[in-house]
Amino acid sequence: MVQTKEENFKLAPEQKAQLDWLRVALGGISDREAIERAISILVTLKRQMRPGSQLFVRTRDEQIPLLIPELEPEPEPNWQYLVERPHPWRRQLYIKGRKLQASTVWLDAIANEMSPEEAADNWDLPLAAIQEAFRYCQTHQDLLKMEAEEERYRLEEKGVSLEPKITPG
Protein backbone atom coordinates (compact mmCIF):
# COMPACT_ATOMS: atom_id res chain seq x y z
CA MET A 1 0.00 0.00 0.00
CA VAL A 2 1.34 3.43 -0.98
CA GLN A 3 1.21 6.05 1.75
CA THR A 4 0.62 9.70 1.01
CA LYS A 5 2.87 12.40 2.45
CA GLU A 6 0.10 13.34 4.87
CA GLU A 7 -0.08 9.79 6.17
CA ASN A 8 3.70 9.80 6.70
CA PHE A 9 3.43 12.99 8.73
CA LYS A 10 1.02 12.27 11.54
CA LEU A 11 0.64 14.74 14.39
CA ALA A 12 -0.64 13.97 17.84
CA PRO A 13 -3.78 15.96 18.71
CA GLU A 14 -1.83 18.34 20.98
CA GLN A 15 0.73 18.95 18.21
CA LYS A 16 -2.07 19.61 15.70
CA ALA A 17 -3.58 22.11 18.16
CA GLN A 18 -0.20 23.85 18.47
CA LEU A 19 0.19 23.98 14.70
CA ASP A 20 -3.34 25.39 14.34
CA TRP A 21 -2.55 28.06 16.94
CA LEU A 22 0.74 28.92 15.19
CA ARG A 23 -0.94 29.10 11.79
CA VAL A 24 -3.56 31.55 13.11
CA ALA A 25 -0.95 33.56 15.08
CA LEU A 26 1.08 33.97 11.88
CA GLY A 27 -1.86 35.44 10.01
CA GLY A 28 -3.99 32.52 8.94
CA ILE A 29 -1.45 30.97 6.61
CA SER A 30 -1.39 27.31 5.56
CA ASP A 31 0.01 24.54 7.76
CA ARG A 32 2.92 24.16 5.36
CA GLU A 33 3.78 27.88 5.50
CA ALA A 34 3.53 27.84 9.30
CA ILE A 35 5.93 24.90 9.48
CA GLU A 36 8.34 26.53 7.01
CA ARG A 37 8.33 29.80 8.99
CA ALA A 38 8.83 27.94 12.28
CA ILE A 39 11.80 26.09 10.80
CA SER A 40 13.28 29.33 9.48
CA ILE A 41 12.89 31.05 12.85
CA LEU A 42 14.41 28.14 14.76
CA VAL A 43 17.35 27.85 12.38
CA THR A 44 18.04 31.59 12.70
CA LEU A 45 17.86 31.47 16.49
CA LYS A 46 20.01 28.33 16.73
CA ARG A 47 22.69 29.87 14.51
CA GLN A 48 22.84 32.91 16.77
CA MET A 49 23.02 30.99 20.04
CA ARG A 50 26.59 30.69 21.28
CA PRO A 51 28.03 29.44 24.55
CA GLY A 52 27.20 31.99 27.24
CA SER A 53 24.37 33.61 25.26
CA GLN A 54 20.78 33.68 26.44
CA LEU A 55 17.41 34.62 24.96
CA PHE A 56 15.13 37.11 26.72
CA VAL A 57 11.58 38.35 26.33
CA ARG A 58 11.36 42.04 27.15
CA THR A 59 8.26 43.56 28.68
CA ARG A 60 7.88 47.20 29.60
CA ASP A 61 9.17 46.52 33.09
CA GLU A 62 11.56 43.61 32.86
CA GLN A 63 13.50 41.09 30.82
CA ILE A 64 12.48 37.48 31.32
CA PRO A 65 14.90 34.69 30.36
CA LEU A 66 13.45 32.45 27.67
CA LEU A 67 14.59 28.86 28.04
CA ILE A 68 14.19 26.66 24.98
CA PRO A 69 16.26 23.50 25.51
CA GLU A 70 16.49 22.77 21.78
CA LEU A 71 18.15 26.15 21.25
CA GLU A 72 20.62 25.96 24.09
CA PRO A 73 24.12 25.94 22.65
CA GLU A 74 25.95 22.65 22.82
CA PRO A 75 28.88 22.96 25.18
CA GLU A 76 32.06 23.45 23.24
CA PRO A 77 35.11 21.52 24.26
CA ASN A 78 37.72 23.54 26.06
CA TRP A 79 40.02 24.38 23.19
CA GLN A 80 43.63 24.90 24.10
CA TYR A 81 44.75 26.57 20.87
CA LEU A 82 41.51 28.00 19.45
CA VAL A 83 39.61 31.12 20.49
CA GLU A 84 36.63 33.21 19.46
CA ARG A 85 37.27 36.64 17.97
CA PRO A 86 34.70 39.39 17.68
CA HIS A 87 33.34 39.66 14.15
CA PRO A 88 30.03 40.96 12.79
CA TRP A 89 29.06 37.64 11.23
CA ARG A 90 31.86 35.07 11.49
CA ARG A 91 31.50 32.50 14.26
CA GLN A 92 34.37 30.12 13.51
CA LEU A 93 37.34 29.92 15.83
CA TYR A 94 40.82 31.33 15.27
CA ILE A 95 44.28 30.15 16.23
CA LYS A 96 45.06 31.68 19.62
CA GLY A 97 47.46 34.62 19.39
CA ARG A 98 47.03 35.07 15.64
CA LYS A 99 44.46 36.57 13.28
CA LEU A 100 44.32 33.19 11.57
CA GLN A 101 41.12 31.26 11.06
CA ALA A 102 41.28 27.57 11.89
CA SER A 103 39.72 26.87 8.48
CA THR A 104 42.57 28.69 6.70
CA VAL A 105 45.09 26.27 8.17
CA TRP A 106 42.88 23.25 7.48
CA LEU A 107 41.99 24.16 3.89
CA ASP A 108 45.61 25.09 3.11
CA ALA A 109 46.75 21.68 4.33
CA ILE A 110 44.09 19.94 2.22
CA ALA A 111 44.83 22.00 -0.92
CA ASN A 112 48.58 21.42 -0.61
CA GLU A 113 48.25 17.79 0.52
CA MET A 114 50.16 18.47 3.73
CA SER A 115 50.30 16.15 6.68
CA PRO A 116 49.57 17.68 10.09
CA GLU A 117 53.32 17.71 10.73
CA GLU A 118 53.98 19.57 7.48
CA ALA A 119 51.19 22.05 8.24
CA ALA A 120 52.67 22.66 11.71
CA ASP A 121 56.04 23.39 10.13
CA ASN A 122 54.49 25.57 7.40
CA TRP A 123 52.46 27.68 9.85
CA ASP A 124 55.09 27.60 12.62
CA LEU A 125 52.56 26.15 15.07
CA PRO A 126 52.73 23.28 17.54
CA LEU A 127 51.51 19.99 16.09
CA ALA A 128 48.83 19.88 18.82
CA ALA A 129 47.45 23.24 17.57
CA ILE A 130 47.19 21.89 14.02
CA GLN A 131 45.50 18.69 15.19
CA GLU A 132 43.04 20.73 17.26
CA ALA A 133 42.28 23.04 14.29
CA PHE A 134 41.71 20.02 12.03
CA ARG A 135 39.41 18.38 14.60
CA TYR A 136 37.44 21.61 14.98
CA CYS A 137 37.06 22.10 11.21
CA GLN A 138 36.03 18.49 10.62
CA THR A 139 33.27 18.78 13.25
CA HIS A 140 32.10 22.27 12.17
CA GLN A 141 31.92 21.88 8.39
CA ASP A 142 28.36 23.24 8.18
CA LEU A 143 29.46 26.47 9.86
CA LEU A 144 32.52 26.77 7.62
CA LYS A 145 30.44 26.20 4.49
CA MET A 146 27.85 28.75 5.60
CA GLU A 147 30.58 31.35 6.26
CA ALA A 148 32.24 30.67 2.89
CA GLU A 149 28.89 31.19 1.14
CA GLU A 150 28.30 34.40 3.08
CA GLU A 151 31.77 35.69 2.17
CA ARG A 152 31.21 34.85 -1.52
CA TYR A 153 27.85 36.65 -1.43
CA ARG A 154 29.36 39.75 0.20
CA LEU A 155 32.22 39.89 -2.33
CA GLU A 156 29.82 39.51 -5.26
CA GLU A 157 27.63 42.29 -3.81
CA LYS A 158 30.72 44.54 -3.85
CA GLY A 159 31.35 43.64 -7.49
CA VAL A 160 34.47 41.59 -6.83
CA SER A 161 35.00 39.04 -9.59
CA LEU A 162 35.64 35.57 -8.21
CA GLU A 163 36.41 33.99 -11.57
CA PRO A 164 40.07 33.19 -12.29
CA LYS A 165 41.73 35.63 -14.65
CA ILE A 166 43.16 34.01 -17.73
CA THR A 167 46.06 35.89 -19.23
CA PRO A 168 46.91 35.39 -22.90
CA GLY A 169 50.04 33.28 -23.20
Q: What is the model's pLDDT at position 88?
A: 84
Handedness of CA 71, 76, 82, 83 (dihedral sign): positive
| The predicted structure's pLDDT at residue 3 | 54
User: What pLDDT is recorded for position 70?
Assistant: 74
Q: Whole-model pTM? A: 0.56
Instruction: Specify whether the backbone of 124 is left (phi greater than 0), alpha (psi in -120 to 50) or beta.
Output: left
Domain ranges of the chain: 12-71, 82-157
What's residue 52's pLDDT? Answer: 64
User: Average pLDDT for consecutive 10-residue bins of the chain (169 residues)?
Assistant: 60 88 90 89 80 79 80 75 90 94 97 97 97 94 90 89 77
Enumerate residues 6+ apart whose C-beta is below 8 A from 64: 56, 57, 58
Query: Looking at the DSSP assignment, which residues form a beta bridge with residue 82?
Result: 95
**pLDDT at site 74:** 64
Q: What is the pLDDT of residue 2?
A: 56
